[in-house]
Amino acid sequence: MRGVISHLANRLWIVVAALGLLLGVDQARADDKRFRLSAPAVLVDSGLLDYLLPRFSLKTGVRIEVVGVADEADVTLGRETGRAVFKGEGAVWRMARAGDHPGAARFAEWLTSEIGQRTVTSYEVAGRAPFTLPEVAEEAEAVPDFDGDASEGKRVSLTQCGRCHVVAPENRMNAMGSTPSFAVLRTMPDWAARFQSFYALRPHAAFTQVEDVTAPFPINRPSPIVPVEVTLDEVEAILAYVAEMAPADLGAPIQFQ
Ligand code: HEC
């Protein structure tokens, strides 16, 4: 009898342990699939978020909780900081991210993509679309000073980015043809914003570490390739280098992504 009970007890422990594991894993996954966004009342009241967020969630399975306090949010939509994402209700709205929540990264990517932008402009109230895209000129004005070290930027670009991107004639033969060259990226009106946040943009997040900025790779998702490791100074240097670079001559302006 004792033997049976202890056998059952052992069994029970195995079940409990397995459940715990499952729940733990599920919990982590659930957290990845839910993040917090803060936006001022005027934006919330406009109805845009009620239109936008379910469409994003439906597509990605990532849910968004709208919170009032910016400090608690993974993503902030506001007037002051971040990348200009749309315009309306008398303001240019900018998106800023805090931390590295994967769902938030996904949202940032979606909102700035063609589909996300089209979703913003397709929102209508009484036959009128209250939100439009920010003008390109506005982005260009927001371009910061590039006081990094351009020659250091070239060195870093060649060693770290040159595996995939054609950076300069020197690595023309070693880069990957499917990846846009730096000169092509330089033609985009918002090239600086893209280089400033490249580590959060696809495909870099999975293999890039920026010192003091990005969190370590998740233990269950190590970098699939030799990681790109840069410091913020090096990102500044890359910006200074790309700022000096002649944009590729493509004839007509291109739309990338
Ligand atoms: C392992 C390959 C790889 C490496 C290394 C790499 N990139 Fe990229 N990068 C890509 C690919 C592929 C794209 C195109 C993504 C797309 O089409 O959505 C890209 C796109 C970009 C873009 C445009 C992103 C956008 O969505 O607008 C920027 C800016 C960029 N890379 C900067 C860099 C910088 C700076 C480095 C080095 C510090 C670097 N990349 C290293 C593969 C790489």
User: Looking at the domain assignment, is residue 72 inside a domain?
Assistant: yes
Q: For residues 166 and 73, is the Cβ–Cβ distance under 8 A?
A: no
Q: Cβ(160) to ligand 1 under 6 A?
A: yes
Please give the pLDDT value at position 138. 47
User: Could you tell me if 49 and 103 lie in one domain?
Assistant: yes
Question: Among 10-19, 78-87, 174-183, which stretch is predicted with the lowest mean pLDDT?
Answer: 10-19
CATH code of residue 101: 3.40.190.10
pLDDT tens digits, 67-90: 988 888 999 999 888 889 999 988
User: Could you tell me if 219 and 179 lie in one domain?
Assistant: yes
- Average pLDDT of the chain? 85
Cα–Cα distance, 30 to 62 (Å, whole number): 9
CATH code of residue 182: 1.10.760
Atom 21, ligand 1: which residue's CA is nearest?
A: 198
Atom of ligand 1 nearest to the CA of 178: 12
Q: Long-range contacts of range 192-198, CB-CB < 8 Å, 24 or more positions apart?
A: 192/143, 192/144, 192/146, 192/239, 192/242, 192/243, 193/83, 193/139, 193/142, 195/235, 195/238, 195/239, 195/242, 196/144, 196/235, 196/239, 197/83
Atom 31, ligand 1: which residue's CA is nearest?
A: 198
pLDDT (average), residues 177-193: 91
User: Could you tell me if 192 and 123 lie in one domain?
Assistant: no
User: Could you tell me if 61 and 100 lie in one domain?
Assistant: yes
Report which of residues 10 and 65 the model is more confident about: 65
User: Could you tell me if 127 and 189 lie in one domain?
Assistant: no
User: Could you tell me if 150 and 88 lie in one domain?
Assistant: no
User: Could you tell me if 224 and 170 lie in one domain?
Assistant: yes
User: Looking at the domain assignment, is residue 152 inside a domain?
Assistant: yes
- Pocket test of ligand 1: the residue of 115, 164, 223 to mutate, having most ligand atoms within 8 Å of its CB, is 164
Q: Cβ(164) to ligand 1 under 6 A?
A: yes
Last residue within a domain, chosen from 97, 116, 134: 134
Last residue within a domain, chosen from 85, 100, 134: 134
User: Could you tell me if 85 and 112 lie in one domain?
Assistant: yes
Percent of the chain with pLDDT over 90: 54
Q: Residue 255 — very low, low, confident or very high, per pLDDT cuts 50/70/90?
A: low
User: Looking at the domain assignment, is residue 216 inside a domain?
Assistant: yes
pLDDT tens digits, 40-56: 999 999 999 999 999 99
Residue at 54: amino acid letter: P
Residue 230, token pair as written in the block: 């840069």
What does each C-alpha distance from 19 to 16, 169, 195, 220 come to in angstroms?
Answer: 5, 56, 44, 19
pLDDT (average), residues 1-24: 57
User: Looking at the domain assignment, is residue 49 inside a domain?
Assistant: yes
Residue 237, token pair as written in the block: 């240097």
* pLDDT reading at 140 higher than 80: no
Please give the pLDDT value at position 146. 85
Atom of ligand 1 nearest to the CA of 234: 38
Domain region containing 115: 31-134
User: Could you tell me if 35 and 118 lie in one domain?
Assistant: yes
Distance from Cα 94 to the centre of ligand 1, integer Å: 23
pLDDT (average), residues 9-22: 56
Atom 12, ligand 1: which residue's CA is nearest?
A: 179
User: Looking at the domain assignment, is residue 22 inside a domain?
Assistant: no
User: Could you tell me if 185 and 95 lie in one domain?
Assistant: no
* pLDDT reading at 175 higher than 90: no
Atom of ligand 1 nearest to the CA of 176: 2
Q: Residue 134 — very low, low, confident or very high, per pLDDT cuts 50/70/90?
A: confident
Atom of ligand 1 nearest to the CA of 194: 29
Cα–Cα distance, 18 to 203 (Å, whole number): 34
Split into its structural domains, the chain has a count of: 2
pLDDT tens digits, 186-239: 999 889 999 999 998 989 999 999 998 888 898 898 999 999 999 999 999 999
pLDDT (average), residues 11-18: 57
Please give the pLDDT value at position 252. 56
* pLDDT reading at 11 higher than 70: no
Atom of ligand 1 nearest to the CA of 163: 5
Last residue within a domain, chosen from 100, 134, 168: 134
Cβ density class 48-71: b for 16+ within 10 Å, e for less: bbebbbeebbeeeebebeeeeebe
Residue 141, token pair as written in the block: 């004005």
Cα–Cα distance, 106 to 87 (Å, whole number): 21
Q: Cβ(202) to ligand 1 under 6 A?
A: yes
Q: For residues 117 and 206, is the Cβ–Cβ distance under 8 A?
A: no
pLDDT (average), residues 23-34: 65
What does each C-alpha distance from 128 to 47, 121, 172 come to in angstroms?
Answer: 13, 10, 49
